[in-house]
Amino acid sequence: MSNFETRDRMSFVGSFAPLLLRHAMVRCAPLYLFCFVLSATVHVRQSGFLPAENGLPAGWKVWAARSETAPKTFVDTVHYRSGPGSLAISSDSNSLVYGGWHYTITNIEGGKWYKFSAYYRTEGVPNEPLQVIARLWWTNAEGKRSGAPDFPYAVTREGEWTRLSLDAQAPDKTAAVTIHLYLANAPQGSLWWDDVSFDEIPAPPPRQVTIASIHLRPRDTGFPEESVRRFLETIRTAVPAKTDVILLPEVITIVGTNKKAMEVAEPVPGPTTARLVELAQQRKSYVAASLYEKDGRAIYNTAVLIGRKGEIVGKYRKVYLPYDEPDDGVTAGSDYPVFQTDFGKVGMMICWDSAYADPARSLTLKGAEIILMPIWDGLQTLVKARGMENGVFPVTSSYGDPSLIQDPKGEILASATEQASAAVATIDLNRRYDWGYNLGNMRLRFKKELRLDVPAIRPEFAR
């Protein structure tokens, strides 16, 4: 027998629940308001794997769709993390390999939240996000799938081992979950799994963020200072108190001035960011806006994020420039940074960035939950696509298109089209946005299934 430890309190309490209930009713009837029955919970721990009579650790099965894709699976007592014996998978020089280990946990309840965690280490696995697979397969009382599977994707490196984890809500009518631990398409790969756990946890509390997106196009201002003043006045009249994030449009120092980028460019920090710092401190809000930044001999279209206390959290330099900006002496940026705030991770894009898939994709892979987009004018459909394909909240502040706040499924939560107005919405970053029975959570699937290993090149430039 294996020496792994399994604790399933829900199964134990469930078997005695009728007896406990009868006992409570008899002994405590006059004081029934103060009586209770122990709630059922699930806590499973698996480690120190040793084979049973069938060669497998108790409760574990091996799986492959067909013999041609079956990996070699075995208990390895040489490679392990905490106690002798890990769940090993070897491709055995088979590039078609796809499969591994299964373990089923019963007494799961739909709607409740569970934390999965497992450790793995690899050799000869070049693309871990695609080739190392953990999956939660939810089923109902009839053994049929109750919803889309979940793919744990949160990664923490701990020496030679990597922790893979996920907090997930069981779909409605779920009665059991099967943990899948696979190796996929790694012809020289070896994979070891250890310290597998699955625990019932409290539902996460709401993580609410109130966002205001400004809609204003100043005209005939003549100078950057006047354009910025009009934006600040709109914020004063249109943005409610206790707003967490205030977003302004693209290059707020040039709109309405009839000037060129080189005439309005300034350092960051500089005079315009100083005014935005004062605004952030007064409002106790994050403030984001785009302006032309002068850095040495270069000029960039730069989005700046300022914190509640007036600190410059970070800046992003627009990567995708339409032809008129280089013609005006503007240089493209070369990075997609993500910024940690007190409510979550934020990325920024600027206008023409939304026409291409890779800016939002890169920000999402780095953990961005909200993408703030100062925009001059553009295609709202492209913005919608960027949010939907990545499972994030895009927020735009525009001179032409509506300034809007969108959820990860493409629904517009708030929109502003009138001059000197603001789109305002409160979002919940802990809310789960699923696409239904078959598609499931696209943010999780995006993190797991995105094929970054396949090069996207123009063949005529290949050498």
Pairing of strands 370-375, 345-348: parallel
Q: What is the pLDDT of residues 398-415, one digit of tens each?
A: 999 899 999 999 999 999
Q: Do 365 and 450 touch, CB atoms closer than 8 A? A: yes
* 286 strand-pairing partners: 245
Q: Where are the alpha helices (DSSP H) in 248-303?
A: 261-264, 271-283
Q: How many CA atoms lie within 13 A of 453 on its CB side?
A: 11
The answer on pLDDT for 12 being more than 80 is: no
Confidence at residue 40, expressed as pLDDT on a 0 to 100 scale: 61
Q: What is the pLDDT of residues 25-35, one digit of tens each?
A: 333 333 222 33
Confidence at residue 321, expressed as pLDDT on a 0 to 100 scale: 97
The answer on pLDDT for 186 being more than 90 is: yes
Confidence at residue 407, expressed as pLDDT on a 0 to 100 scale: 97
Supply the mean pLDDT for the chain.
Answer: 90
Which residue spans of the chain are classified as CATH 3.60.110.10? 208-429
Q: What single-letter DSSP state applies at residue 255?
A: T
Q: Mean of the pLDDT values across residues 274-292?
A: 98
Integer-rounded Cα radius of gyration of the chain: 27
Distance of CA 244 to the CA centre of its chain: 20
SS3 call for 352: helix
Q: Mean of the pLDDT values across residues 357-375?
A: 96
Cα–Cα dist 135/151, whole Å: 5
Using alpha carbons, list the distances in angstroms from residue 233 to 157, 214, 420: 48, 11, 9
Cα–Cα dist 446/334, whole Å: 23
Cα–Cα dist 148/139, whole Å: 10
Instruction: With CA atoms as reference, report the closest residue to 399 among 375, 432, 371.
Output: 375
Using alpha carbons, list the distances in angstroms from residue 61 to 64, 100, 193, 351, 424: 10, 8, 14, 51, 52
Which residue spans of the chain are classified as CATH 2.60.120.260? 43-201
SS3 call for 72: strand
Q: Based on the number of CB atoms within 10 Å of its own CB, is 276 exposed (0-12), middle (13-18) or buried (19 or more)?
A: buried
Confidence at residue 460, expressed as pLDDT on a 0 to 100 scale: 87
Cα–Cα dist 408/369, whole Å: 9
Look at the alpha carbons of 282, 286, 291, 294 in this order and tell me if their dihedral is positive or negative: positive
Confidence at residue 151, expressed as pLDDT on a 0 to 100 scale: 94
Query: Domain 43-201 in CATH: superfamily?
Result: Galactose-binding domain-like (2.60.120.260)
Helix (H) or strand (E) holding 365: helix 357-365
Q: Mean of the pLDDT values across residues 39-52?
A: 86
The answer on pLDDT for 397 being more than 90 is: yes
Q: What is the pLDDT of residues 99-108, one digit of tens each?
A: 999 999 999 9
Confidence at residue 445, expressed as pLDDT on a 0 to 100 scale: 81
Angle at alpha carbon of residue 180, lines to 174 and 182, rounded to 5°: 160
Q: Do 422 and 234 touch, CB atoms closer than 8 A? A: yes
Q: Mean of the pLDDT values across residues 418-423?
A: 98
How many residues are there in the chain? 463
Q: What is the pLDDT of residues 147-173, one digit of tens each?
A: 999 999 899 999 999 999 999 999 999
Q: What is the pLDDT of residues 347-357, one digit of tens each?
A: 999 999 999 99
Q: What single-letter DSSP state applies at residue 250?
A: S
Cα–Cα dist 326/246, whole Å: 29
Q: Residue 234's pLDDT band (boundaries 50, 70, 90)?
A: very high
Q: Which CATH architecture has domain 208-429?
A: 4-Layer Sandwich (3.60)
Cα–Cα dist 181/62, whole Å: 9
Confidence at residue 10, expressed as pLDDT on a 0 to 100 scale: 36
The answer on pLDDT for 442 being more than 90 is: no
Q: Do 198 and 44 touch, CB atoms closer than 8 A? A: yes
Q: Residue 457's pLDDT band (boundaries 50, 70, 90)?
A: confident
Give the number of other Cβ atoms within 10 Å of residue 328's Cβ.
Answer: 16
Q: Mean of the pLDDT values across residues 255-260?
A: 96
Instruction: With CA atoms as reference, report the closest residue to 13 among 109, 102, 103.
Output: 109
Per-residue tokens: 144: 């049929």
Confidence at residue 332, expressed as pLDDT on a 0 to 100 scale: 98
The answer on pLDDT for 5 being more than 80 is: no
Per-residue tokens: 201: 């946890």
For the whole model, what pTM was predicted?
0.87
Q: Residue 16's pLDDT band (boundaries 50, 70, 90)?
A: very low
Confidence at residue 33, expressed as pLDDT on a 0 to 100 scale: 28
Please give the backbone phi and psi of residue 390, each rounded to the nearest 5 degrees, phi first.
-110, -10
